[in-house]
Amino acid sequence: MDALSEIRQAVCSGERVEYYTAEKEKTGEIESAEYVCVRESVFRKDSPTGCRVRGESDKHYTLDAVCFCLEHSKLATSGYIRECHRRGIPSISAVDRGALLESLRGEGEWAHDSVPVEVLGAGIATKKDSVITKAIGREQRVLAWKSSKSDFREAARKTKSKIDELLAAYSRGAASPIRDRRPTRTKHEQ
């Protein structure tokens, strides 16, 4: 699958796009990364995407430009372009930016199916880079996601039971259960 499709699926399902240096260390910024890890695929950050530059028949946006655009989607176009130049990242044109962001969020379609397969495959990690792929394997990401998901579910369950308890007390005729609550002292405070 191409990088744009992977990013679209990751964004729509709430997964994160991760960046790794050449030394296999996770980094938070695309400009210091060498690889982009999306779901279970690893791509070089400078690989061309299926996102063709409007008005150019043979030029495609690179993966780092697309990721940076997605990360900074809340910036106004002028601020985004300034930030691209400051960090040395190729910018997505103002004309293409809106359509690309809509496509990545699953709100629209970007016509990128006419790109030759050899262009799309150019950025996929080679066998030489397979060590990177193993180091940032899917199992690690799935385990981290599952643990954060279970923590969230546990917190939501506790909050729901507390709300149910307060509503039950209120329906039994107690004054507002929220106003009547006084902080309790812990064993250490007494």
Give residue-wise pLDDT tens across range 146-171: 666 666 677 777 777 777 777 777 77
pLDDT (0 to 100) of residue 122: 47
Q: What is the pLDDT of residue 5?
A: 83
Q: What is the pLDDT of residue 143?
A: 56
d(CA 174, CA 180): 9
pLDDT in tens, 61-97: 889 999 999 999 999 999 999 999 999 999 999 888 9
Report the mean per-residue pLDDT for the chain: 75
Closest CA to 61 of 70, 49, 78: 49
To the question of pTM greater than 0.85 for the whole model, the response is no
Q: What is the SS3 string spanning 79-141? A: HHHHHHHHHCCCCCCHHHHHHHHHHHCCCCCCCCCCCCHHHHHHHECCHHHHHHHHHCCHHHH
* Domain assignments of the chain as residue spans, ordered by start: 3-135, 144-175
The reported pLDDT for the residue numbered 56 is 77
The string of pLDDT tens digits covering residues 2-37 is: 788 888 888 888 888 889 988 888 888 888 889 988
State the angle between helix axes of 94-104 and 63-71 in degrees (0 to 180), rounded to the nearest 10: 80
DSSP 188: T
